[in-house]
Structures are given as structure tokens and as C-alpha cells.
């Protein structure tokens, strides 16, 4: 008999040995697991998972098995929380044990992302980072960015009109440039800007490569694989990680060092980094204390990653909704015209006077569900909830998609219908339950720290587009309308692939309004 020496054989042997070890050493559980699809021996529920639109599969599990579902892959527990009660009871009220993040060898040690807020384990470092981010992006801090948001609006609208088919590039430049300005005091002046390009590369690597397929790599399940020689067949993930880590470190260091240099010259614009560096504790030689320097450096980088993809996803869904529902756009345009008179762009002071626009914003968040399965939390201790056993180390997913498609909470949930938010709920509790902002930005101590900035910038872009643009189906060279072709291939963010649409100025007056130059 030939001796099998293939790496595949040894990988399979490692899998089998690991699963047998886990099964033989598993303590007796005090209560039944939550219900879920039936696993197969050794592999668990591997065959039930999919890298493409997993949230649709998870929604089916919610309907079939109830408000909490349990699966496992090679013994790694996966728990899906499918109702508002479940996510608030566990991720909010029991946040002390539900706020950890999984130890991901690939994203962390190999790709260098272990110090990013989204990956930091729960503890002193994560609390320090959250405090820093709250100081810059808390609700009370957002009004200071309103002038900057409004200043960037007209250039964004001009770019949209000049090249409507590349709308995602314009949204990315707006969101990326805004965040670079807020975080580092850096002003983006072109689409091929060095820092903007570096930031976009890193966000793409993080979202579509490192986090592809849910972000769980074989090396995360079997950490010993990280010691494979880079040249060995099957070690391609290590070769990729070397390239990705170098790029991620450049994005962490270069904008940060730019701000430091500008501060030395006395030309730094006010920003998150400059403000914190001015008050940072120093060593005797005048250098920043190492821990503080590390926290500011990585928290600043995380602030960019925390907002860019969510903003792009939200705005893409808004455009799609307006293409598919021109009657809603027409009503919103009439509302804005009645408030601003067509002589200026909407401002934040107008928000209370635009109830339909606010309803469209809320419905876009709900209907679009930018991160439909949230980013997973990790349970730090065994827990029992409603008579069901959730083992320590389980990855906990807030099933935002199932919640925002709950027919009891949102009748005709698949339909884009902003009118559902035009009538106040029965009481404060009911209003909280149906407010999509309580779901789409995550939960508990791991809620998206960029939520307030995303909401403000998204609302202003949305209303400015309504005020000045007609948004409709793409019209080909023969004058025929084309319905948008919508597909989703991002495994973490529910970002629709680029679809064709028509973006035109509503009128000559709207074109003049967009063409005006703001005072610097």
C-alpha cells in the first residue's frame, strides 16, 4: 500500500483528531442547546453554511427553529439571536460576558488586525479604545462636524452628476475624505489621493478578503496551521497574510505620522488625533507614552474602518429604493421644496421639519440592513437563557436581518415602505422596538462606534440628493429604461453590486444650486 504523504491527508487527520478530542472531553451540559439544523458527525453544520448571503439561510432557521438557534462547526458553537428580546437580554443586559471578540489567528496575528477595535478582545484595551472613540464620535460631539459635512455636500453632488455610473466611488470618496479629515485633519483633494487610495485598499482587504466567507479561516479553528512553511502547498493563506499585513500597517502608521509632522510644523488642522496628542502624557524625552501612542494610533485607524462600508451600503440602498419607488422620491421632493424653497440645500436645522425624509432614512436602514448578521461576539462563560444552554466560547450573531424582516414588528417587511414610520408607535417601548437604529448598528458594548457620524452624514447626503436630483432607472442609447440588476457578493456587508441608474439634475435651478462654490 502506498504511503499517503499529502498535506490534505494530514489536515484531515488533524480535523478528525481534534473533533474526537473535543467530543471525548466535553463536560455534561446542564441544559439542552438551543434548537437548530441537525449537524453531521465530526463536521457539524459545515454543509449548512454559505459564504453568499448567509443571512437568508439564517432567516430560514429563525422561522423554523425559533428565536435562538445553535449550530457548530468542528465543535465551535455558533449562536444566532433572532428577536429584539434575545439580543437585548444577552448582548445588552449580559454584556459583561457577551462582549468579547473571537480570537481570529488569520485576521489578528497573521494580518495584523488584532489591535483594531472590531477585533480587540474584551478588556482594558477595548475599554480604552471605546472611550477614545466616544470622545470623538459620541452624539454630543457630532454637531462640531456639521459644517464639514455640509461643506463637502456640493462637491459630492457635482461628482454624482458628472459620472453617475460610478456612484459608489463618489460615496466612498465622500465618506473616506470626511473620515480622514475628522480623524487626521487631512484634506482629500482628488480621487487618486495617496491616503484615500491606501484607505480604500485596506478596507477592501479587510471586508472582501480577510473577512470573506464570514472571517473564519481554517487556521482560526486549527491554530497550529500558522506554523506551516510559507512555501508548502496549502499555505497560500500565509503568503496572502504577509502582503495584507504590510498594507494594513501602512494605513495605521502613515496618516498618523502625517498628523504628527503637521503638529510639529504648527500647521495641523484640528482633528481627533491632534486633540488627543496635545493632551497625551509624555515621557521625560518629550515622546508620547507608549501605551497612549498605541491606543491613539490604532483607534484612529479603526474609526475609518468603522464607517466607510456602512455608509456606502446605506447610500447604495437609498439610491436603489428611489429607482424602484419614484412615487416616494416625488413626495420627498415636494416636502423638501416646501421647507427650503429650492433656494438652498437642506441643513441639519431642517431635520425636524422633514418627517417623510426622516421616515425614508429609517426605512432605508431597516430595508437595507447594512450588516445583516452583525459582527460576532464571543461568550466568555457558560450561560443558560430561557432554559437553553449556550457554551462558553460560542460565537454570538445578532441576526439583524431576521429582526428587520419580522412581520410582527414590520408588516410587509420585504416591501420598502417609509410610511410605516410616519405614524408614532403606541408608546415609548413600542417605538424603541421598531426603531431600526437600535438594531442595524449592533448591540451592547460592541455597538458600532461610528453610528452617530454615519447617521448624520447619511441623512445629509440623502436629503441633498432628494432636493437636487432625479433618481431613476438607467436609460440606454435608444431611450429604453433598464431595471437595476441587484446582487450581493460581500459576505459581511449587504452592499449591492454596482447597478445602473440615472442621476440627473431636477431643474436648471437645482443645477445652479449644485454648481455653486462654497466658501472655504
For 22, residues 6+ apart whose C-beta sits below 8 A from its C-beta are 74, 75
Query: Cβ of 214: how many Cβ atoms within 10 Å?
Result: 17
Residue 129 backbone phi and psi in degrees, to 5 = -65, -45
- Residue 333: strand pairing partners: none
- Chain centroid to CA 496: 14
Do 317 and 496 form a contact (C-beta atoms < 8 A)?
yes
Q: What is the grid cell recorded at 394? A: 460560542
448 labelled binding-site residue? yes
DSSP summary character for residue 223: G
d(CA 384, CA 427): 31
Strands 502-505 and 474-475: unpaired
Do 133 and 277 form a contact (C-beta atoms < 8 A)?
no
Pseudo-torsion of CA 133, 139, 141, 147, nearest 10°? 120
Strand, coil or helix: 24:
helix
Q: What is the grid cell recorded at 137? A: 464620535
Residue 275 backbone phi and psi in degrees, to 5 = -65, -45
DSSP summary character for residue 482: E
- Residue 496: strand pairing partners: 488
DSSP summary character for residue 377: E
DSSP summary character for residue 52: S
Q: What is the grid cell recorded at 308? A: 466607510
Residue numbers in the known binding site are 448
Residue numbers in the known binding site for heme are 448
Amino acid at each position: 500500500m502506498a504511503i499517503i504523504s499529502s498535506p490534505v491527508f494530514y489536515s484531515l487527520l488533524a480535523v478528525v483528531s481534534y473533533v474526537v478530542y473535543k467530543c471525548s472531553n466535553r463536560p455534561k451540559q446542564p441544559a439542552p442547546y438551543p434548537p437548530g439544523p441537525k449537524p453531521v458527525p465530526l463536521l457539524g453544520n459545515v454543509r449548512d453554511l454559505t459564504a453568499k448571503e448567509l443571512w437568508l439561510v439564517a432567516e430560514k432557521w429563525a422561522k423554523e427553529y425559533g428565536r435562538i438557534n445553535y449550530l457548530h462547526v468542528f465543535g465551535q458553537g455558533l449562536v444566532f439571536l433572532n428577536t429584539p428580546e434575545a439580543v437585548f437580554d444577552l448582548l445588552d443586559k449580559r454584556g459583561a460576558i457577551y462582549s468579547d471578540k473571537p480570537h481570529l489567528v488569520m485576521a489578528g496575528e497573521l494580518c495584523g488586525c488584532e489591535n483594531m477595535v472590531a477585533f480587540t478582545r474584551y478588556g482594558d484595551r477595548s475599554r480604552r479604545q471605546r472611550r477614545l472613540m466616544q470622545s470623538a464620535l459620541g452624539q454630543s460631539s457630532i454637531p462640531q462636524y456639521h459644517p464639514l459635512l455640509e461643506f463637502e455636500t456640493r462637491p459630492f453632488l457635482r461628482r454624482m452628476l458628472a459620472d453617475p455610473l460610478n456612484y459608489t466611488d463618489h460615496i466612498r470618496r465622500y465618506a473616506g475624505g470626511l473620515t480622514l479629515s475628522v480623524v487626521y485633519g487631512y484634506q482629500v483633494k482628488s480621487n487618486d489621493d495617496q491616503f484615500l487610495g491606501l484607505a480604500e485598499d485596506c478596507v477592501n482587504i479587510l471586508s472582501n478578503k480577510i473577512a470573506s466567507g464570514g472571517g473564519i479561516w481554517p487556521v482560526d479553528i486549527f491554530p497550529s496551521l500558522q506554523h506551516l512553511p510559507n512555501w508548502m502547498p496549502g499555505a497560500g493563506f500565509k503568503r496572502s497574510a504577509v502582503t495584507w499585513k504590510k498594507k494594513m500597517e501602512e494605513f495605521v502608521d502613515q496618516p498618523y505620522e502625517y498628523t504628527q509632522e503637521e503638529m510639529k510644523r504648527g500647521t495641523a488642522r484640528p482633528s481627533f488625533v491632534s486633540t488627543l496628542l496635545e493632551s497625551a502624557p509624555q515621557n521625560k524625552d518629550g515622546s508620547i507614552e507608549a501605551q497612549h501612542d498605541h491606543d491613539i494610533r490604532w483607534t484612529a485607524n479603526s474609526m475609518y474602518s468603522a464607517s466607510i462600508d456602512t455608509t456606502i451600503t446605506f447610500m447604495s440602498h437609498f439610491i436603489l429604493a428611489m429607482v424602484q419607488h419614484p412615487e416616494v422620491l416625488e413626495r420627498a421632493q415636494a416636502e423638501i421644496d416646501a421647507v427650503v424653497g429650492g433656494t438652498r440645500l437642506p441643513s441639519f436645522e431642517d431635520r425636524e421639519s422633514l418627517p417623510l425624509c426622516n421616515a425614508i432614512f429609517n426605512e432605508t436602514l431597516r430595508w437595507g440592513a447594512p450588516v445583516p448578521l452583525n459582527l460576532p461576539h464571543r461568550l466568555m462563560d457558560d450561560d443558560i437563557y430561557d432554559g437553553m444552554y449556550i457554551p462558553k466560547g460560542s460565537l454570538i450573531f445578532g441576526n439583524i436581518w431576521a429582526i428587520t424582516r419580522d412581520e410582527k414588528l414590520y408588516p410587509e417587511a420585504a416591501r420598502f415602505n417609509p410610511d410605516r414610520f410616519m405614524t408614532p408607535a403606541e408608546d415609548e417601548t413600542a417605538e424603541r422596538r421598531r426603531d431600526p437604529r437600535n438594531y442595524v448598528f449592533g448591540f451592547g458594548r460592541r455597538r458600532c462606534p461610528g453610528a452617530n457620524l454615519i447617521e448624520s452624514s447619511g441623512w445629509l447626503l440623502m436629503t441633498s440628493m432628494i432636493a437636487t436630483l432625479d433618481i431613476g432607472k438607467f436609460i440606454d442609447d435608444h431611450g429604453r429604461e433598464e431595471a437595476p440588476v441587484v446582487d450581493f457578493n460581500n459576505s459581511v456587508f449587504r452592499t449591492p453590486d454596482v447597478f445602473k441608474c440615472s442621476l440627473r439634475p431636477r431643474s436648471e435651478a437645482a443645477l445652479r444650486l449644485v454648481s455653486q462654490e462654497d466658501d472655504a
